Amino acid sequence: MPFTELQTELNERAAQGLLRSRCTLVTAQSPHIVVEGKPYLAFCSNDYLGLASRPELAAALQQGTQQWGVGAGAAHLVSGHFGPHHQLEQQLAAFVGKPAALLFSTGYMANLGVVQALVGKGDTVFADKLNHASLNDAMLLSRAATRRYRHGDMAQLAQLLAQAQSGRKLVITDAVFSMDGDMAPLRELLALCEQHDAWLYVDDAHGFGVLGEQGRGSLAHFGLVSARIIYMATLGKAAGVSGAFVAAEQVVVDTLVNHAHGYVYTTATPPALSVALLQSLRMIAQGDGLRAHLHRLVARLRRGLSGLPWQLMSSETAIQPLLIGDNQQALKLSEALRQRGIWVAAIRPPTVPQGTARLRITLSAAHTDADVDQLIGALHELAC
Ligand SMILES: *Cc1c(COP(=O)(O)O)cnc(C)c1O
């Protein structure tokens, strides 16, 4: 059998409690989902504002397909760049306070494309050790030298920056760390980048739509304005649709249009998605009520889960991981919740460091107080 070795590897993973598999939802994304015929209260999507299944977005998408059809039919640089793409880029740039923006099909591709286009052999990328996997892959693809600093350790980053002699320097970081929920010290990062003439690439997958005035994201949250910041946010999380964008100085965007393989060599996203995203952007900007409710839910959860044998990690965002430690125990707890009709994902290595398996609880503005109370009650029962 030509694939025996693959099966052996999978068996080993399974023995360590690390085998991954998928569950099929038969209802739309929301706190109340049906999986294999059973209803669940779910705390694992990144649909932080509950927009993914809102009828306003479905209607915009429908209207978009009526006007623009379904497929884009070509890459942006050939004949796949449509009016709604262009309009969305302009509005996104203005929303996050940058001169220009560029759409990508996914956040994963944006990260690969940006890092690969901006640095190469002879340059150095500096990265937080807890960055998202796509940023790690991006550094490898770029062929630049890579220096990883301990999570949030600005002293170590300063040392590494000082050691880099020639070439471009690019610091890359999650703004909100996806598996921990804490925020990068963006103000300090920017100060170091200024001191060492480095560029700062900020991945705001979990901040855009949620943080800052009107949901403008992590830069707005910290009040940071700087031409040396290159900003990326995804559009499939709080925005509830799909895709990603990079916002930066015009010269950076022009460079990406010319050199980012993840932009150049791929078919444009359906223009109707941009029509839906224009609607989503309006709802984000007008979403103060949703964000206030989300904030109250975070506080309610943190109050309710104090006193458990497991600690909530230090986070003020919608990502509220409960640290379990052992892989099998995290799986068991997740399974026990599932038997009670509650769905929370167990996150294990290699997604997180060894010995830090966790339940990644995520909250959404679509949750109610009663939903959160149900999770709190179940976890207290299971702790006994
Ligand atoms: C989800 C995520 C991505 C990838 O975005 P997609 O649009 O889902 O490909 C990139 N960075 C971070 C930090 C993420 O959480």
For 161-214, write each residue's pLDDT tens digit.
999 988 999 999 999 999 999 999 999 999 999 999 999 999 999 999 999 999
Q: How confident is the model at residue 374 (pLDDT cuts 50, 70, 90)?
A: very high
pTM of the entire predicted model: 0.97
DSSP 262: H
The pLDDT of residue 166: 87
**Atom number in ligand 1 closest to CA 111:** 10
> pLDDT digits over 111-139, tens only?
999 999 999 999 999 999 999 999 999 99
Ligand 1: centre distance to CA 177 (Å): 11
Comma-separated ranges of CATH 3.40.640.10 domains in the chain: 55-285
The pLDDT of residue 296: 98
Provide the pairing of β-strand 38-42 with 32-35: antiparallel
Which of 18-22, 73-77, 92-96, 297-301 bottoms out in mean pLDDT, i.e. has the lowest?
Answer: 18-22
> pLDDT digits over 316-348, tens only?
999 999 999 999 999 999 999 999 999 999 999
Rounded CA separation 185/173 (Å): 10
Which of 8-22, 110-124, 152-166 bottoms out in mean pLDDT, i.e. has the lowest?
Answer: 8-22
Residue 287: is its pLDDT beyond 80?
yes
Residues marked active site are found at 178, 206, 237
DSSP reduced 3-state for 119: coil
Ligand 1: centre distance to CA 205 (Å): 6
Report which secondary-structure segment, H or E, holds 84: helix 83-96
Residue with CA nearest ligand 1 atom 6: 107
With beta carbons less than 8 A apart as the criterion, state whether 220 and 189 touch: no
Comma-separated ranges of CATH 3.90.1150.10 domains in the chain: 23-49+287-383
Residue with CA nearest ligand 1 atom 4: 107
Taking every pair of Cα atoms in the chain, the longest distance, rounded to a whole number of angstroms, is 62
Ligand 1: centre distance to CA 234 (Å): 6
Q: What percent of the chain has pLDDT over 90?
A: 93
Give residue 311's identity as a one-letter amino acid code.
Answer: Q
CATH number of 23-49+287-383: 3.90.1150.10
Among 130, 180, 234, 235, name the best residue to mutate to test ligand 1's pocket (greatest count of ligand atoms within 8 A of Cβ).
234
Whether domain 55-285 has CATH 3.40.640.10: the reply is yes
